[in-house]
Amino acid sequence: MIRQATKDDYPAIEACAKRFWEHAPFDVPYKDGSALFYMDIAYDHGLLLVAEHNGEIVGFAAGALAPMMGNSDYLVGSELAWWIEPEHRGGKLGIQLMKSLEAAAAANGCDFWNMIYMQSCMPEVVEKMYLKMGYELKETTYGKRL
């Protein structure tokens, strides 16, 4: 089951965020409470969702919206995090969570939506899924520690 998150879900979402962070491409440890800032943004934008299995939160998705830089008449949104616990992958839950995030973005006036994947977490699988779902490669991001 996919549903909008409530603030009561924050501890379970942060537990998922900690496991998500283990796959993030940054060489710094997770600091408790760090995900709360992003959860609040996503919650305020109507883009904080949880995936439940047998009443337990087993994943979450978070996104944010902003006016498009080149034409502020349009809203562009981006996924901030999309995570399903590894033992719950392989079925349809991840796709349902992603489609629900897209639907929530559209319901909140989003015109263009972006999904991201990390090179460190199943990039070939996720890229293939995105392409199958109608996404096109738009940008590539490089990063370095300063």
What are the pLDDT digits (tens) for 39-94? 999 999 999 999 999 999 999 999 999 999 999 999 999 999 999 999 999 889 99
Check if the beta carbon of residue 115 is closer than 8 Å to that of residue 64: no
pLDDT bucket at 24, cuts 50 / 70 / 90: confident
Please say if the pLDDT value at position 122 is more than 80: no
130 secondary structure, DSSP code: H
pLDDT bucket at 28, cuts 50 / 70 / 90: very high
Residue 82 makes CB contacts below 8 A (sequence gap 6+) with 60, 61, 62, 94, 97, 98, 101, 115, 116
List domains and CATH numbers for the chain: 2-132 (3.40.630.30)
The residue among 53, 131, 119 whose CA lies nearest residue 89 is: 53
Please say if the pLDDT value at position 26 is more than 90: no
What are the pLDDT digits (tens) for 128-139? 989 999 999 998
Average pLDDT, rounded, for the chain: 93
Please say if the pLDDT value at position 112 is more than 80: yes
Quickly tell me which residue has 């991201």 as its tokens.
116
- Give the gyration radius of the chain's Cα atoms: 15
Please say if the pLDDT value at position 108 is more than 90: yes
Mean pLDDT of 119-130: 82
